[in-house]
A and B are shown apart, each in its own frame.
Chain A
Amino acid sequence: MMQESKFLQNKLGLMGWISGGRYGIERYAYTLHRLTGLAILAYFLLHIFVTTSRLLGQSVWETVMGFLKSPVFKYGEFLVYLAFAYHALNGVRLVLTELGFFLGVPKQPLYPYTHSVRRQRPLLILVMAAAAVIVLLGGYDFLGLAGK
C-alpha cells in the first residue's frame, strides 16, 4: 500500500515542470529555480577544476584563462551570473515562505476564498525586482560601461 501511494506522488514526472496548471506563476518560478540550480551546479563542478589549475603555476593559469576569454565562455559566464541572481533571490523567497513568513495567519475558509500562494505573491514580485536590479548592475559591469 505504501509502495503504491509513493508511485502516485509524482505521476506527472518532468511534465509537472513544464506545465504550471492551476498553480500559476509560482509553479514556473519553481521550474526555473530547478533549471538554474542545475545550470549553476554544472558550472560549479567545472569551476572547481578550473580554479584548482592555479596550483600548476602562472603559465598554466594564463593559458586556461586565455581559453576561457573566448566570447562563448564570456557570455556563458554572464548567463551563470543571471542564473545566480534569479536562484539566490528566489531562494530567499522560498526560505521565507518555508518558515511561514508572508503566508498570513491560518483562518476559516470563507467565501470569497484566498489562498497562501496569492498572499505571498507581492514577495515574489519584490524578489524578482531585486534580481532584475542585480542583473542590470552586472550587465553594466559586463558590457564594460562601468570602466569608461
Chain B
Amino acid sequence: MRTRESTFWTWHLLAGLIILVVLGIHMSIMHLSKLLGTGGQPNDVVEWTLVKMRSIDFAFALMYVVLLGAALYHGLYGLRTIILELTLSERAEKVVSAFIVFVGFVLFIVGGYGTIAFYVLNGPVR
C-alpha cells in the first residue's frame, strides 16, 4: 500500500536523479573546467565576469533553482531519515520533521531569492 512516507521516499529517489544530472553539469563546469575548457579566460570559474555571465543566463538560473530545490529536499529528507532511525518518540519525530521542513523552506527562499534577484537585476530582462 502506498503511504505518505513511501511517496516522500519516491520523491527522494527522483530528487537524487535530478541532482545527478544537474549537479553533474555543475561539477563538470566547476571542477573539470580546465580539462573540458568550460572555464573560459582567465580560466578561473569563480572569477566575477564568468559568475555574472552564468548567473544572467536563463538556463543556468533555472538550473540553479532546480538544483536548490532538489538538493534541499534530498539532503534534508536524508537527514530526517537518519535522525528518525534513532527511534525517537512520536512527538519528537513530529518536531524534527516540522523543523526540517521549516529550515528547507527558509533556505529555498534565501537561495532562490539570491538567484532570481541577481538574474532580474543584471539579466537580459532589465
Contact = CB atoms under 8 A, between A and B. Distances in A.
Interface string A54-87: 1100100110010000000000000001001000
Contacts of B118: 54-55
Interface residues of A, number: 38
A111 interface: no
Contacts of A49: 110
A44 B48 CA distance: 21
Contact of A52 (B13, B17, B19, B110): B110
A49 B107 CA distance: 9
Chief secondary structure at chain A's binding surface = helix
Contacts, number: 81
B31 A51 contact: no
B110 to A, nearest CB: 6
A140 B35 CA distance: 8
Chain B contact-residue range equals: 35 or more
A51 B111 contact: yes
Contacts of A7: 87
B86 A92 contact: no
A84 B23 contact: yes
Contact of B86 (A13, A44, A137): A13
A44 B71 CA distance: 8
Interface in B77-126: 78-79, 82, 85-87, 107, 110-111, 113-114, 117-118, 121
Interface of A: 6-7, 9-10, 13-14, 34, 37-38, 40-41, 44-45, 48-49, 51-52, 54-55, 58, 61-62, 65, 81, 84, 88, 91-92, 95, 98, 137-138, 140-142, 144, 146-147
Given A91-B16, A95-B16, 16 more contacts: A13-B86, A14-B86, A34-B78, A34-B82, A37-B75, A48-B114, A51-B111, A52-B110, A54-B51, A54-B114, A55-B117, A58-B48, A81-B31, A84-B23, A141-B34, A141-B35
11 contacts: A6-B87, A10-B85, A41-B79, A54-B51, A55-B121, A81-B27, A81-B31, A84-B23, A138-B32, A141-B35, A146-B35
